[in-house]
Amino acid sequence: DGGITQSPKYLFRKEGQNVTLSCEQNLNHDAMYWYRQDPGQGLRLIYYSQIVNDFQKGDIAEGYSVSREKKESFPLTVTSAQKNPTAFYLCASSIDGTLSTEAFFGQGTRLTVV
Amino acid sequence: SQQGEEDPQALSIQEGENATMNCSYKTSINNLQWYRQNSGRGLVHLILIRSNEREKHSGRLRVTLDTSKKSSSLLITASRAADTASYFCATRNAGNNRKLIWGLGTSLAVNP
A10 touches chain B (CB under 8 A): no
3 state DSSP class of A110: strand
The residue ranking higher by pLDDT, B1 or B31, is B31
pLDDT band of B94, cuts 50, 70, 90: confident
**CA–CA gap between residue A99 and residue B81 (Å, rounded):** 31
**CA–CA gap between residue A52 and residue B111 (Å, rounded):** 46
Percent of chain B with pLDDT over 70: 95
* Residue B4 confidence (pLDDT) above 70: no
3 state DSSP class of A21: strand
Average pLDDT, chain B: 92
CA A70 to chain centroid: 15
Q: What is the pLDDT of residues A32-59, one digit of tens each?
A: 999 999 987 789 999 999 999 999 999 9
Q: What is the pLDDT of residues B11-48, one digit of tens each?
A: 999 999 999 999 999 999 999 999 999 999 999 999 99
The pLDDT, as a whole number, for residue A56 is 95
The pLDDT, as a whole number, for residue B1 is 35
- Record: contact A103-B45, CB cut-off 8 A: yes
The pLDDT, as a whole number, for residue B3 is 55
The pLDDT, as a whole number, for residue B24 is 94
Residues of chain A with pLDDT under 70: 1-2
Per-residue DSSP letter, A73: B
Task: Find, among B90, B85, B29, B93, the residue nearest to A43 by Cα.
Answer: B90
User: N- to C-terminal Cα distance for chain B?
Assistant: 37
* Residue B80 confidence (pLDDT) above 60: yes
The pLDDT, as a whole number, for residue B42 is 94
Task: Find, among B79, B75, B72, B85, the residue nearest to B36 by Cα.
Answer: B85
Per-residue DSSP letter, B39: T
The pLDDT, as a whole number, for residue A100 is 83
Q: Which of residues 25-44 of A touch B (CB under 8 A)?
A: 35, 40-44
**CA–CA gap between residue A92 and residue A58 (Å, rounded):** 14
Are the C-beta atoms of residues B23 and B70 closer than 8 Å to each other?
no
Per-residue DSSP letter, B112: -
Instruction: Tell me phi and psi for residue B82, to 5 degrees.
Output: -70, -10
* A65–chain B nearest CA distance, Å: 18
Number of H helices and E strands in chain A, helices first, is 0, 11
Chain A residue with minimum CA distance to B43: A105
B109 touches chain A (CB under 8 A): no
**CA–CA gap between residue B8 and residue B105 (Å, rounded):** 9
Amino acid found at B39: S
Q: Which helix (H) or strand (E) holds B23?
A: strand B19-24
- Record: contact A40-B104, CB cut-off 8 A: yes
